[in-house]
Amino acid sequence: MKKIKVILKKSPINKIRKHKLTLKALGLTKIGKSRILPDNDAVRGMINKVSYMLEVKEINDEVK
């Protein structure tokens, strides 16, 4: 299963309220905090909404 690492790079202060709530739903509360999330449509949609504040890296976590 593919996963993505999401890192908060910019402060959510003075941003749109819905964008702040989206960051909270992703589990990103402080600058520099990162989360590893599943790569699915719901998560991708949230990331696209607040992409200007994030850094995204794809992780290949395949076990053989």
Per-residue pLDDT of the chain (64 residues; tens, 9 = 90+): 789 999 999 999 999 999 999 999 999 999 999 999 999 999 999 999 999 999 999 998 666 5
Q: Which DSSP string do the residues of 1-62 spell out, in sequence order? A: -EEEEEEE-S--TTS-HHHHHHHHHHT--STT-EEEEE-SHHHHHHHHHTGGGEEEEEEE--
Is 61:5 a contact under the CB 8 Å cutoff?
A: no
pTM: 0.88
**Domains of the chain in sequence order:** 2-60 (3.30.1390.20)
